Structure 1
Amino acid sequence: MEELRTIHKKELRDLQARITQKKKSATKKTRKGVNEECEALERQLKEKQDLELSELAGGLPTNNMNGGIVGDEPEEPEETDEPPFPGQPDRIQKSLRSLSPPSLQSIQPERPRKPNRQKARLARRTAEQETLAAQAAEEAANLPDLREQERLTMLKEFEVHGLSEKEVRPDGHCLYSAVADQLAELGIDLEPKLASTTAPNGVEGSRNELPEYSRVRMVTAKFISEHPDDFSPFLEEPLSEYVHKIRDTAEWGGQLELLALARAYGAQINVLQGDGRIVSVGPGEGVSDGKELWLAYYRHSFGLGEHYNSLRKGK
């Protein structure tokens, strides 16, 4: 009996070491399954040892002679790999197996399972992604609302300069649509000194049948093509291709187009920026008839990005 109890204590210590190792290698997702597996191992070992003690005692109840699974600290000093009574443990084990019914012979401690490295990698990757997402959300929450800031600045400047705003469609033609609205307000012809009647894409027809923004595009393209020395140094492509994009596509307009528009229509174009600054583009020397066009330029307030609206004097 003492020899069997000694064997049982060693089995308990070995099992406790396995359980400790399993729990250390468990991840957040596998912890529940590992705990259930450890409880099953403890229960199987306890049942096995109780049956062995009962068999050795002649079938009498053992009243839990081993007292269940021990804690992290062993009840007795750590034993060496050598059995306490050389030659006895193996003989006793064989004897117990020969006396046990077949159902008892099948009760064996489970072999330690290798940790699933793929699941561990997936768990680590998921944890890293969750951490990065939380950090990104926190950074986004701390960023200023650029759209709101830009809109508030614009409204303040409208009050200062006595302007009201007319929104135009953010479709790539917004600069030309806003200029066309300004020209109509001032009573300026959309096609000053326009020699050609050719519409975009080479279609012949009445210019008045074209959209207003398209007619303004034609004026811009014509002025740039007639003044290549003023614009070619600032281009990264042939002048003909650049003029084609202005006249026949929905290419956005920028600083060069503003300059061409101001000179073609002989008017000063004032562009109110989202930060409160006003950028003025003049018609050139010798032109001072007092015509002014007002545009609002946004960087953050519209989904497609940069955008122009028309501004009118008065409210």
Structure 2
Amino acid sequence: MDALLARHRKETRDLQSRITQKKKAATKKTRKGVNDECAALEAELSERHAAEIAELTADTADPADTPDDLLTANEQPNTPTASNPADTPTPQPVATPARKPNRQKARLARRAAEAEEAAAQARAEAASLPDLRARERAALQDAFKARGLVEREVRADGHCLYAAVADQLPLVGLKPRIEATVGYRLVRRTAAEYIARHGGEFEGFLEEPLTEYVRKVGETGEWGGQLELLALAKAYGVDICVLDGDGSVHEIEGPEKGAEGKKIWLAYYRHGFGLGEHYNSLRKA
């Protein structure tokens, strides 16, 4: 049992190391699949360990319990031989001491049963939770139809906000100088430059120096949010309407609110994509 538990501990450590490496190497697009794979590996290892412990616990065979009549002739004690059966001593029954219960095996079996019960309860609770992704998707589809909009998906990565805005700009006469599929780079630089020029409007919302924040917006894959939407609305002179997962609309006003044809639409997801928050472009049907 000690050897089995030692092997289990080593296998658990090895698996955790593998899982850590997989999660570090995951991208925003593959993270959900990696998380599902890691959970399956953990569950498989836990079930196998529980089965091995149960199998070892159930194996109670002990040579000390072997009755005397199963011993071979070579193992029988020396007895006198006689041609007269009357001279053969009558074998006396030997009392076998009662075996003490193995407390360690019982404890391990109890722990394995408790672990399996906890896992089953967790699976049942997960199955009873609402499907937030399906609920959000249905609410947004209803909102699209009500407003005469169709969705154009952009790649689910750290650039999704900027790529969705890049897809919208040609619709209001602000076509990027480069193709929309890579236009997020230009949109990123535009947001970064506006924030740098108007730092006083943004510094109060930042938890890091303005220069570092501007660098992340313009040069990295850092996700965009409310501040970047505000900067883009001001820089491009448009109103940005964000359709939320509950069907509500959040509008970020540009310098000239309500300017004719200067309104772009984005869809915002909290649960619809594996890596978390995501923006898609919306167009008139």
Q: TM-score range by the shorter chain?
A: 0.5 to 0.7
Judge conservation of contact 2:241–2:263 (CA < 8 Å) in 1.
yes
Helix, strand or coil: the match of 1:246?
helix
- Confirm whether residue 164 of structure 1 aligns to residue 150 of structure 2: yes
Question: What RMSD over aligned residues (CA atoms) do the two structures have, in Å?
Answer: 3.2
For residues 1-315 of structure 1, the aligned pairs below 5 Å read 100=89, 104=91, 108-190=94-176, 211-284=182-255, 286-290=256-260, 291-314=262-285
Judge conservation of contact 2:57–2:105 (CA < 8 Å) in 1.
no
Judge conservation of contact 1:44–1:109 (CA < 8 Å) in 2.
no
Output one character per residue of 1:12-64: Cα deviation in whole Å (capped at 9) or x when no partner.
Answer: xxxxxxxxxxxxxxx98689666x88xx78x879xxxxxxxxxxxxx89xxxx
Counterpart amino acid of 1:118?
Answer: Q
Counterpart amino acid of 2:186?
Answer: R
Helix, strand or coil: the match of 1:269?
strand
Judge conservation of contact 2:269–2:279 (CA < 8 Å) in 1.
yes
Judge conservation of contact 1:147–1:301 (CA < 8 Å) in 2.
yes
Distance 2:192 2:167 in 1: 19
Distance 1:174 1:212 in 2: 11
1:141 is displaced (CA, Å) by 1.5
Deviant stretches of 4+, over 4 Å: 27-34, 207-210
Q: Which residue of 1 aligns with 2:12?
A: none
Helix, strand or coil: the match of 1:144?
coil
Structure with larger Rg: 1
1:150 is displaced (CA, Å) by 0.7
Counterpart amino acid of 1:153?
Answer: A
5+ residue gaps, structure 1, are: 1-26, 46-58, 61-97, 192-206
Helix, strand or coil: the match of 1:219?
helix
Kindly indicate whether structure 1 or structure 2 has the higher relative contact order, using CA contacts under 8 Å at least 6 residues apart.
2
1:125 is displaced (CA, Å) by 1.4
Distance 2:245 2:229 in 1: 17
Counterpart amino acid of 2:99?
Answer: R
Distance 1:297 1:185 in 2: 19
Counterpart amino acid of 2:94?
Answer: Q
- The 1:114/1:261 distance shift into structure 2, 3 A limit, reads same
Judge conservation of contact 1:179–1:310 (CA < 8 Å) in 2.
yes
1:168 is displaced (CA, Å) by 0.3
5+ residue gaps, structure 2, are: 1-52, 70-84
Percentage of matched positions with identical amino acids: 51
Distance 1:246 1:31 in 2: 59
- The 1:100/1:227 distance shift into structure 2, 3 A limit, reads farther
Counterpart amino acid of 2:187?
Answer: V
Distance 2:58 2:232 in 1: 71
- The 1:223/1:32 distance shift into structure 2, 3 A limit, reads closer
Output one character per residue of 1:80-117: Cα deviation in whole Å (capped at 9) or x when no partner.
Answer: xxxxxxxxxxxxxxxxxx9747xx57x63333334333
Helix, strand or coil: the match of 2:279?
strand
Distance 2:208 2:187 in 1: 22
Judge conservation of contact 1:29–1:123 (CA < 8 Å) in 2.
no
